[in-house]
Amino acid sequence: MISQKTSGEPVAAHLRQIVGNVGIVQVLLLLLAGGILWLVVDYARMLLLRRKMPPGPFPYPIIGNTFQLPDKKPWIYFETLAKTYNSPIITFWIGRNPTIWVNDAPTASDLLDKRAATFSSRPHMVVFGDLAFGQNSLVTMYYGDRFRVHRKLSHMGFGLQRVREYQGLQSDENKVVLKDLLTDGENYVSHFERYAASVVSIIGYGRRIRNTTDPIITEVIALMQRAAEHNVPGKSFPMLLETFPILAKFPRWAPWMRRFRQPRAKNFFFALAEEAANDGDKDCYSKKLFEQGPKYNLSEMELSTLSGNLFGAGSDTSSSTLITFVLACCAFPEALPKAWEELDRVVGPHRSPDFDDEANLVYVKAFVKEVFRWRSVAIIGGQPHAPIQDEIYKGWLIPKNTWVQGNVWAIHRNEREFPDPDRFDPERYLKDGANSRPFPNERGYMTFGWGRRVCAGQALAEQGTFISIARMLWAFKIRKALDKSGKEIPVDIFDYTDGLNIRPNPFKCRIAPRGEEIRKTIEREGKQAEENLSIYNGETKYRITTYRAEE
């Protein structure tokens, strides 16, 4: 009996193993069948939805059209798709989700301006939403009560009515730039960055940026430029997480998640704002935010983003616009003599232009508009919009929460509104200009976005750009650089960076005063401006490379 029981145990164990294996196989087969069924149903959903939406390339299951994206400058690709499908509005699938790309001005106006009540929200964003500041930042916030609070607080700092108070400091900082360019024109980019960052630093924190090595420039602007480089639709990390959002659920030690640590900018901008708010001598935006904080129950993260958004609204973007201005001067010198004639007639050499001259500087104003149009910095209109409900436009469905992006590159290069679009031509903004055409808005460009999501810093940027360009046109001859043999070095009007906010890649130029009297005026006004601005001189103990004050 004992020997029979012993000999039967291996047989029983073997039978149990077979039964167990059959169970595992059945479970695996069920999972496989379930996965295939889900895939079929989900793909059927995509195809049914595609039939109702604007035209676009045929999507694949799960990946959609993501891997059809070019490696660089996708806005050019979407412009090409609009022409291919003969439609100003197209559908492109990022993974399992459709995105809408708007490629002409009338359509952008119809949807994003005229239907702003519907199209003022944001879609769900993984990279610059869930893994960044989420619903604590006006930039990525869904439309609703909290958005209105943040928008109100932003207008308190740099809204249309408020920015007129900043004309004096913008004017003085710009005079300092002219003085710096007299002796160091080769480093014009650094001087533009210092100027733009200093203006917003004075407004936000009551502290001036006096030199080009200040950490605000060397660290903050560099950080923003790196973020902009990644913030465009793409088929590589980090934007690949928009196609496969499940990958964002992995722990931070996963290789693709290591870059998504707690944003150090949160700690840095809060520290700057708190430092300014506690300085009894400073009347600045940060102080007002801390005063309003208890009323609106603002968190540290919200205080950080509200103060930090100033740099996004007015530093990197403004300096990039001025670099584009220099490129335009080099590439299209024929546009300059009319500006010089107007400035000599209205202003003369013994003072620089000021804001009171604007009404009489008709051609210069057209010149500024053309700078904004010709190569807009926010080339895809900033962050995407999303409708808060299903919308029908010309028979096409735009589902609720769909990613809707305005392709400013295509909008500003449409030959219907802008004949010969790559030519820099200020006269297109003059009433009797040969290339003047109707446009859906009075400004004649869509550089700063649309509707209730228009850039909060638009008025500040337009005001500062006008006085900067008017002054530089008055002050300097800006020309192509010369090589060793004395020949002009060509510039490439298409050689721009690839990020969300574009700027020309580095190029050399010549910047020289237009005359001796003008040179003397630049020096005299620059010295006076530095004295005027000295009340804002100071230092901060904080650095973005650390989370806390330097001990």
Q: Which residues are annotated as a binding site for heme?
A: 455
- Distance, in Å, from the CA atom of 114 to the CA atom of 110, rounded to the nearest integer, reads 5
- Cα(first)–Cα(last) distance of the chain, in Å? 83
What three-state secondary structure class fits 419?
Answer: coil
Tokens standing for 159? 């809204």
Burial letters 168-187, b for 16+ CB under 10 A, else e:
ebbbbbbbbbbbbbbeebee
Residue 90 host element (H or E): strand 89-94
* 3-class SS shares of the chain: helix, strand, coil, % to 5: 55, 10, 35
Q: How far is CA 107 from CA 98, 393, 404, 408, in A?
A: 18, 9, 12, 12
DSSP output for 149-210: HHHHHHHHHHSTTTGGGGHHHHHHHHHHHHHHHHHHGGGHHHHHHHHHHHHHHHHHHS----
What three-state secondary structure class fits 349?
Answer: coil
Burial letters 411-438, b for 16+ CB under 10 A, else e:
bbbbeebbeebebbbbbbbbeeeebbee
Burial letters 208-239, b for 16+ CB under 10 A, else e:
bbbebebebbbbbbebbbebbebbbbbbeebb
- Distance, in Å, from the CA atom of 163 to the CA atom of 170, rounded to the nearest integer, reads 10
Annotated binding site: 455
What three-state secondary structure class fits 85?
Answer: coil
- Distance, in Å, from the CA atom of 56 to the CA atom of 451, rounded to the nearest integer, reads 26
DSSP output for 390-408: -EEETTEEE-TT-EEEE-H
- Distance, in Å, from the CA atom of 203 to the CA atom of 195, rounded to the nearest integer, reads 13
What three-state secondary structure class fits 2?
Answer: helix
Residue 248 host element (H or E): none
Spell out the SS3 assignment of 252-303.
Answer: CCCHHHCCCCCCHHHHHHHHHHHHHHCCCCCCCHHHHHHHHHHHHCCCHHHH
21's CB contacts (< 8 A; 6+ apart) are none
What is the length of the chain? 551
Phi then psi for residue 410, to 5 deg, are -70, -40
